[in-house]
Structure 1
């Protein structure tokens, strides 16, 4: 195992960076999309229920099947990988964003309106900051989940450590096959831990001290 890593550590580190960067970019995109949808639907019980239902159903779709479907219109490469990772990342964030916005006390919103805040300013200055801890929890859940999904999308020749996993599995019993799989799996776990620590730091920097748990 040591020889395998020693001979390929530059390639492994580069693949790790690609993997982490793919997940980080997709998380940012997924957060923006999910929060925008939540803002549009959270005041309507029927729309919020529909969004939560779609979120629950979406999580049952096998990522491998979805990437296979997307290969047909988009071909192999980064684009289908980004679509799949962003799709799965958005689902828990959407659910948490709706919950966070709905859990804000109506009296708080009324107080903001009472001092002359517009609907948009109330949303930006009061509601979203108060809902952010719950939203960020969804982001952390998504980060752990899609770190593994990002490995699966390597089937479509997307970037990341999944290439080592698929390469090793395709030639099990051959030279360095097990080492290749272990490198990919352990690398994904380490990246997941690193990203979670980064998100913990983001929470410390962005969650107002008064509502920090």
Structure 2
């Protein structure tokens, strides 16, 4: 969100940030993990880097869109009553952009669940281990059960996380702009 706050007022910088985010989202997570195994080896490090990378992209993108969508007259009014640029950002712009930013956080959370499952390929922790172990024993005893446990576990965690984020959104969105 810091990146978004720094670039949203500048059209060329916000276009660049959105472009980088769009390109980043087209990179297959499996390929990104594979590329990071060479410098970092197998384990938690490449998994965390890839999950963090993919988690940040929708949040940055939505934060830029949300902040850029604030009417200039609202910002001008806040500045007209003597608010500093930082105070205007903190008390006017961020609260008004919060629903859009939160939707980016929700998209990010859902996407990270899938990426984290795939990150098990790099021997990272998580339910993806069940999926990959079942796939490696395809046709063997309990292989399908192992895959099913991993997939259902990821879906349940994603659903619970989305409900939590919906609740946070309900509690933190100002009443005047709630949908």
TM-score by length of 1: 0.82
CA distance in 2, matches of 1:135, 1:78: 28
- Structure 1 unpaired stretches of 5+: 1-34
Instruction: Flag as ranges the 4+ runs of structure 1 deviating above 4 A.
Output: none
Tell whether 2:21 aligns with 1:40: no
CA distance in 1, matches of 2:60, 2:148: 33
Counterpart of 2:35?
69
- Structure 2 unpaired stretches of 5+: none
CA distance in 2, matches of 1:157, 1:49: 36
Tell whether 2:55 aligns with 1:89: yes
CA RMSD of aligned residues (A): 0.9
Q: How does 1:113-192 map to 2 (within 5 A)?
A: 113-192=79-158
Counterpart of 1:106?
72
Report SS of the residue matched to 1:104: coil
Query: Displacement, 1:117?
Result: 0.8
Query: Displacement, 1:81?
Result: 1.2
CA distance in 2, matches of 1:205, 1:87: 28
CA distance in 2, matches of 1:194, 1:83: 24
Instruction: Please give the per-residue CA displacement for 1:184-211, whole angstroms capped at 9, x wherever unaligned.
Output: 0111111111000000011011111111
Counterpart of 2:175?
209
Query: Displacement, 1:141?
Result: 0.9
CA distance in 1, matches of 2:46, 2:171: 33
CA distance in 2, matches of 1:95, 1:122: 21
How many pairs were matched up?
179
TM-score by length of 2: 0.97
